Chains A and B, each alone.
Chain A
């Protein structure tokens, strides 16, 4: 019975419910975009590390990782690593934060041995062959044949890579190891040694990190941002619950006489509660559907990379149901307290 009464009430007060759905959908869409933002931090890092192609990252003993602290190792350590049992290939790699262009633009700079492990596959153009050449991520906006100014020197872009961003959409550029070392006063050093295979013996003075550990090192500076995003997401869910809760409560207040009549004619509190819960869940799920469409449309024009994973959509629907159920509690408390004797009241 409450199905019918609930659906009819949704139709009856459709304008108000549409406003609530719109407001909640905007809030949900924001939470989805934030999910996509947080998720993109991890996804872009995974893709870039995958493009580099290493199975392990080997850094100086005591260093926290190849990205967050610069603890250089001699580039010749690559030979030592390559000779370690279990390793099939090892190459030195340099990672630096840099800027390019006259109007400084942040990039993640990798120095790699051309044609070897560490150099990603290009989307267009060709791989590095000699000094003065660069591979640039497409988001840097520099085409093949163009030049990039970096630290007082020009680099010819010979190839472009796709999906090789880090640290929240900052593009990555690859140059030769030797060119990168000139930025370090010409010292024959590397940030780390990348290798394929897995060393089965300890390497003196060096620490072997898995790709996951390297990723964690890269993401550590973003941890606070990711936590803040999650915190804001929870706040947004609470806001959504408040919007739906207030509408359902208002609806319950206006339906006081109706509920009294239902009770006087034998409808139980649980049935009334079921009706309110259904109403709130329908509102929340409808808002989630609209939010999904909205977020998908907004994601490409968001200033930061936003990649909303399927799990975020599924989570949103689960959250919508929980939000709906919690929101219905406000109306439920009201409905339970209504005395059926009210039905006998006058107009």
Chain B
């Protein structure tokens, strides 16, 4: 792989925060990434972990709350107006999840669309589209509509569309999500071939099969080795925070003494108290169990003592039946 610092993709302290309903969600919190020129980066993680949010920010579709994105020495995160449109047209090509081809356009026209939007003549765009479809092995399907093609073929058209203007950054969102294993093989080969000097490819997926292809794998949800954690007791004063909403953590807490309040930060900056838990109650089990960020903030309302357990220890302590109860009331838990 050619190391050209100037064409690297560098993401620094990227935070994206938005209001969903009446509470604040922070799918990315001070995220960092350095993808060298020519590399294929795979963003791995479960649904809701921020993969698509990161791709949206890289595509210039979503403005981050803070942090910077730089590609080939150009700051993407601050672009607006024409510069942003220019980035969307020439700076990046996106392979969307579920292909997102326009059903009324045939394969060639779908590939032509971004080129025509960029002002390329119809003749040149058509010639390029034909060449790209040939490149992804779909020359004979050039005049088929998406509805007449298999998922794999549609995905290859989507890849050809992303390559239309030969962008230096290719983003692919779950490119294997709707494909059978035979189709996956073809798509994987093409995706791997996209990464070459002068271009960075970022693929968001939860498909482990793609890992061997990657030059760099970024796990957006850290894998906690819960089994290795010993129980940890904490003494808290009134007002001490156990964890903040949006944090990630690997411990589940049981209150030994005192009381803990559970509050959710609302979009308008206020807090909504969800519950006040007393000695014997437990909290913070949803994040570690399901690999999710904490969905609320917890803090002591009086001097309290809590003990943090790993998922395994907690499960052993609680019993598998009670764990089922947790899942059944998951909406009320943090």
Chain A positions near chain B (C-beta within 8 angstroms): 1, 4-5, 8-9, 11-13, 257-258, 260-262, 264-268, 271, 339-341, 343-347
Contacts and interface: CB of A to CB of B under 8 A. Distances in A.
Interface in B76-116: 85-86, 88-90, 94, 96-98, 100, 102-105, 109, 112-114, 116
B105 A5 contact: yes
A346 B98 contact: yes
A265 B104 contact: no
A15 to B, nearest CB: 13
Interface stretch (B4-12, B54-62, B189-197): B54-62
A343 B89 contact: no
Interface hub of B98, B100, B118, B161 (most chain A Cβ within 10 A):
B100
Interface of B: 52, 55-56, 59, 61-62, 85-86, 88-90, 94, 96-98, 100, 102-105, 109, 112-114, 116-118, 122, 161, 173-174, 177-178
Contacts of A12: 103-104
A345 B114 CA distance: 19
Given A340-B61, A344-B56, A1 B116 contact: yes
Contact of B62 (A258, A266, A341): A341
A345 B62 contact: no
A216 to B, nearest CB: 55
Contact of A4 (B56, B62, B109): B109
A92 B104 CA distance: 74
B192 to A, nearest CB: 22
The 5 closest A-B pairs by CB, nearest first: A1-B116, A266-B89, A12-B104, A347-B98, A266-B88
Contact of B61 (A13, A262, A271, A343): A343
Contact of A264 (B88, B112, B122): B88
B102 A258 contact: yes
A8 B96 contact: no
A10 to B, nearest CB: 9
A261 B100 contact: yes
A344 B103 CA distance: 17
A4 B117 contact: no
Contacts of B55: 344
A8 B102 CA distance: 10
Contact of B56 (A13, A257, A341): A341
17 contacts: A1-B112, A1-B113, A4-B122, A5-B102, A12-B103, A258-B102, A258-B103, A261-B100, A265-B117, A266-B88, A266-B90, A266-B114, A267-B117, A343-B61, A344-B94, A345-B97, A345-B98
A265 B110 CA distance: 11
Contacts of B102: 5, 8, 258, 261-262
A11 B104 CA distance: 8
Given A12-B104, A343-B100, A264 B117 contact: no
Contacts of B59: 264
Contact of A5 (B62, B89, B113): B113
Contact of B104 (A8, A266, A344): A8
A181 B173 CA distance: 95
Q: Chain A contact residues: over half helix, strand or loop, or mixed?
A: helix
B61 A268 contact: no
A340 B173 CA distance: 14
Contacts of B62: 341
B61 A1 contact: no
B116 A344 contact: no
Contacts of B56: 341, 344
A276 B105 CA distance: 16
A264 B161 CA distance: 12
Given A264-B96, A266-B86, A343-B100, 7 more contacts: A258-B100, A261-B102, A264-B88, A264-B94, A266-B89, A271-B117, A344-B173
A110 to B, nearest CB: 64
B114 A265 contact: yes
Contact of A8 (B89, B109, B116, B174): B109
A240 B55 CA distance: 43
A261 to B, nearest CB: 5
A9 B103 CA distance: 9
Nearest to B87: A266
Given A265-B113, A271-B117, A344 B97 contact: yes
B150 to A, nearest CB: 15
B223 to A, nearest CB: 24
B18 to A, nearest CB: 10
Nearest to B103: A12
Contacts of A1: 112-113, 116-117
A147 B62 CA distance: 88
Nearest to B119: A1
A266 B96 contact: no
A341 B53 CA distance: 9
